[in-house]
A and B are shown apart, each in its own frame.
Chain A
Amino acid sequence: DTGVSQDPRHKITKRGQNVTFRCDPISEHNRLYWYRQTLGQGPEFLTYFQNEAQLEKSRLLSDRFSAERPKGSFSTLEIQRTEQGDSAMYLCASSPGLAGGHEQYFGPGTRLTVT
């Protein structure tokens, strides 16, 4: 069990560019979550997947944001036409199946800076 991994760890981009982040959950975890954390705040929920199905999206997830989990394993989060307000830490988490419990295990995050 290598834990949740995220790539890249840091991303600096210019306003208007597109960025894509990747998350690899703990193997065999059915649920995968994306959160966003800004300075001085706790993480805020963005979206989650049960296997490959996206089950819920927060109103924070504007049309510029899209997430996929095509084969029910890794997930990608894409932000189009980035804005300075998108600067944040993007956290991915996964949780086991019904028999495994409800806790979520977090990755190290991807810190996005939009200049």
Chain B
Amino acid sequence: AQSVTQPDIHITVSEGASLELRCNYSYGATPYLFWYVQSPGQGLQLLLKYFSGDTLVQGIKGFEAEFKRSQSSFNLRKPSVHWSDAAEYFCAVGPREYGNKLVFGAGTILRVKS
């Protein structure tokens, strides 16, 4: 069965500190991989995606993620967190067939201490 695991329900970091959010997936083949961010009461905004090629991908707002096939992981990182990054972050996977459904993790809530 397809599944996405985000082991950390909550993470608290100090403003200016580095951040890593973990994501592991179980899938029949290498899927497409995504990170989305959701602010309270809002929809989801796409941060970045991995389809193929370079396993380190850059996204918006200074985020990056690294795909590790051997570990079935796609961890999200940011070198210096800003207070405005406080939100909920979702990892998602989708099949390589065009435009099919996404499977999401349960999310990680990021709190930023000033």
What is the CB-to-nearest-CB distance from A59 to chain B, in angstroms, rounded to a whole number? 13
For B99, give its contact among A4, A31, A58 (CB under 8 Å). A31
Segment at the B interface, from A44-52, A66-74, A76-84: A44-52
Question: A102 an interface residue at 8 Å Cβ cutoff?
Answer: yes
* B53 nearest CB across to chain A (Å): 14
Q: Does B42 contact A (CB under 8 A)?
A: yes
Residue A56 interfacial (CB < 8 Å): yes
Enumerate chain B residues within 8 angstroms of A41, measured Cβ to Cβ: 106-107
Total chain B interface residues with beta-carbon distance under 8 A: 25
Interface residues of B in 66-102 (CB under 8 A from A): 90, 92, 94, 98-102
What is the chain A residue whose CB lies nearest that of B94?
A102
B residues 25-55 in Cβ contact with A at 8 Å: 32, 34, 36, 41-46, 49, 51
Residue of B nearest to A104 (CB): B102
Contact of B45 among A91, A102, A106 (CB under 8 A): A106
A41, A48, A104: most-surrounded residue (chain B CB, <10 A): A104
**A40 and B101 in contact, given A91-B43, A102-B94, A103-B34 (Cβ under 8 angstroms):** no
**Interchain CB contact under 8 A, B99 and A107:** no
- Shortest Cβ distance from B15 into chain A, in angstroms? 25
* Chain B interface residues toward A at CB < 8 A: 4, 32, 34, 36, 41-46, 49, 51, 90, 92, 94, 98-107
Some 11 contacts from A to B, beta carbons below 8 A apart, are A42-B4, A42-B92, A42-B105, A43-B44, A43-B102, A48-B100, A93-B44, A98-B98, A103-B34, A106-B44, A109-B42
